[in-house]
Amino acid sequence: SAAAVAGCEASLALGSGTGGSIRQPASLCGVVGLKPTYGRVSRYGLIAYASSLDQIGPFGRDVTDCAFLLNAIAGHDPYDTTCNNLPVPDYTANLTPDVSVKGLRIGVPKEFFGEGVTSEVASLVQAAIAKLVQLGATAEECSLPATEYALASYYIIAPAECSSNLARFDGVKYGLRSTELAGHIGLTEKTRDEGFGDEVKQRIMIGTYTLSAGYYDAFYKRAQQARTLILRDYITAFEKYDVLLTPTSPTPAFKVGEKADPLAMKLADICTIPVNMAGLPALSLPCGFVDGLPVGLQIIGKAFDEATILRTAFAYEQATTWHSQRASLEE
């Protein structure tokens, strides 16, 4: 979806994010991507991967595009029991030429600038923060100490939910069905073997393991406890700040085939996973380039306060030209 918007093959697009799959592609493709608050947008019709983490959100070439699409998709849906029925504001209302961030309180979590984040990415994000300060906001370093547990707990909770959700794809009720019939059990095994890729199978196996007797308390229960600590950190931070600013991805976009290490790929979500674990809204927008490749700024907001995120992003966008520039496709 992000590539389609970046390549002008679509003006707007939808994506689904469990641990960063809206903001990460937006960052790497140089477009704007917004993951709304969990429950702000209906998940009805989405193939569930991890039901407590999944969320649908918009991609656009600029902030206004994302706000426009969010207006269309946000709101209560009786077909999704996790969908909140809070009133939906007009997300484009404050995106005007006289937009102001004067008095906006910005927190900069130090945990998001540690190991793995390249110096070039960190410098561009700090420059973006300085630009917002120049526009009238205030910024200071803060701490979200439970962030260190996010990656490990995510890769326990998400596969556990995945193993439960994808159990419905058994070749009987709907979807793909293997043509090699060998009884009910054989049909299910063959259908899943043909229909699921290696990565999906791996996550199902991990999830089944963590939910099994003897391991539930040791892994899954502790991961959920860590998740609670992560959420509490954000609640505390937002008592003092209006938004939190971080890198979206710890590195610039990489070339196709350049990264083959699955672990390294998973670590790339280190800046986005904590937000999904807390169920909060966050947006990625372009804030520069490294060697011609896009870098994204992540703006995290309070639950159901997408309006402040969009206003902050729009003010930055109006003061810079990064959103109108495109990545170099040359070697």
CATH number at residue 298: 3.90.1300.10
Average pLDDT over residues 65-74: 98
Q: What's the whole-number mean pLDDT along residues 251-259? A: 76
pLDDT at 146 exceeding the cut of 90? yes
Per-residue pLDDT band for 267 (boundaries 50, 70, 90) equals confident
Residue 171 lies in a domain: no
Q: What domain count does the chain have? A: 1
Tell me: the pLDDT tens digits for 105-134? 999 999 999 888 999 999 999 999 999 999
Burial of 185 (0-12, 13-18, 19+ CB in 10 A): exposed
Question: Residue 226 half-sphere exposure, CB side, CA atoms within 13 Å?
Answer: 23
Which of the pair, 57 or 264, is modelled with greater confidence? Answer: 57
Distance from chain centroid for Cα 49: 14
pLDDT above 70: residue 259: no
What is the pLDDT, as a whole number, of residue 261? Answer: 65
pTM confidence score: 0.93
Task: Return the pLDDT at 200.
Answer: 85
> Is 330 a domain residue?
no
Domain membership of residue 195 (yes or no) is no
**What mean pLDDT do residues 185-194 have?**
74
pLDDT over threshold 80, residue 102:
yes
Q: Which domain holds residue 250?
A: 2-143+243-324
Q: How far is CA 140 from CA 100, 113, 157, 289, 297, in A?
A: 19, 14, 32, 24, 16
Q: How many residues does the chain have?
A: 331
pLDDT, mean of residues 41-70? 96
pLDDT value at residue 181: 66
217 found inside a domain: no
User: pLDDT category, 202, cuts 50, 70, 90?
Assistant: confident
Separation between Cα atoms, residue 14 and residue 45, nearest integer Å: 13
218 within a domain of the structure (yes/no): no
Q: How confident is the model at residue 197 (pLDDT cuts 50, 70, 90)?
A: confident
Lowest mean pLDDT across 138-142, 216-220, 288-292, 304-308: 216-220
- What is the C-alpha separation between 265 and 85, in angstroms, rounded? 36
Is the predicted pLDDT of residue 260 greater than 80, yes or no?
A: no
pLDDT for the residue 328: 67
Whether 317 is in a domain gets the answer yes
| Banded pLDDT at 178 (limits 50, 70, 90) | confident
DSSP state of 220: I
**How far apart, in whole angstroms, are the C-alpha atoms of residue 280 and residue 57?**
12
Q: Is residue 167 classed as helix, strand or coil in its secondary structure?
A: helix
Per DSSP, 113 falls in state G
The alpha carbon of residue 121 and the mean position of all alpha carbons in its chain are separated, in whole angstroms, by 18
Separation of alpha carbons 256 and 15, rounded Å: 21
Q: Do 55 and 43 touch, CB atoms closer than 8 A?
A: yes
Give yes or no for residue 39 having a pLDDT over 70: yes
Whether residue 207 lies inside any domain: the answer is no
Identify the pLDDT of residue 241: 98
The pLDDT assigned to 42 comes to 97
Q: In terms of Cα–Cα distance, which of 54, 13, 56, 46 is closest to 31?
A: 13
Segment 34-63 shows an average pLDDT of 96
In a domain, 190, yes or no: no
Quote the CA–CA distance of 154 and 40 in Å, as a whole number: 21
Answer yes or no: is pLDDT of 188 > 80.
no
